[in-house]
Amino acid sequence: MVKIDYYFATISPFVYLSGTRLEEIAAKHGAQIIYKPLDGPALFARMGRPENVHPARVTYAAQDMQRRARKLGMPMSAHPAFFPTNRAPSSYAVIAAQMAGGGDMGALVHGLARACWAEDRDIADEAVIREALEAAGFDPDLANRGLLAGAEAYAANLEEAVARGVIGVPFYMVGEERFWGHDRLEDLDLFLSGAL
């Protein structure tokens, strides 16, 4: 079975814009997704993100995200009430859910990102995390279990991402074939089809 290593930050606007297309592509090709949440800002700091981003670039990115959301038919707040926020608790819940199994991981990841970017909710809030877990078919108590294991896996995911050359999120890897960004999902699909 083909495996897709999926490196992402639960609070990334581009993870939100990915929706559940990755899961649809994986189902189409009989691939397995390995979810690897990590600390996006720490990744950018390690991989050479410029310290001083020009305001014009920030303005462009904000406009482009809104256009992409409209193109995809997805509601998206231009200024979410809880961004940035601590992404670690939601990441630990994703790690615990993947270890426990039995629910819909794509729905969980998208539910958390949607809570931030479309619902103005704080994904560091335990109640929001519990609700996302339950909505995706997981035990909501996973939000409180395995915190040490979650913290260790979260840190390990970052180190692994750096070692493998992950340069941003969302990032998808099939073996050593790399795809960066929600706008590369079509390329991932074509690659898995053998057409690219």
CATH code, domain carrying 31: 3.40.30.10
Give the tokens for residue 38.
């990590």
pLDDT the model gives residue 95: 97
| Alpha-carbon gap, residue 74 to 6, rounded angstroms | 22
Comparing 127 with 48, the larger pLDDT belongs to 127
Give me the sheet containing 171-174, strands edge to edge.
32-37, 3-8, 171-174, 177-180
Question: What is the full DSSP assignment across 89-135?
Answer: HHHHHHHHHHHH-SS-HHHHHHHHHHHHHTT---TTSHHHHHHHHHH
pTM above 0.85, yes or no: yes
Give the tokens for residue 110.
């998208």
| Alpha-carbon gap, residue 31 to 37, rounded angstroms | 19
Residue 74 has pLDDT above 60, yes or no: yes
Q: What is the mean pLDDT of residues 121-126?
A: 97
Number of domains in the chain: 1
Residue 83 binned pLDDT confidence (cut-offs 50, 70, 90)? very high
Q: Are 30 and 193 in contact (CB under 8 A)?
A: no
Comparing 158 with 146, the larger pLDDT belongs to 158
| Alpha-carbon gap, residue 112 to 127, rounded angstroms | 12
| Domain span including residue 178 | 3-193
Residue 169 binned pLDDT confidence (cut-offs 50, 70, 90)? very high
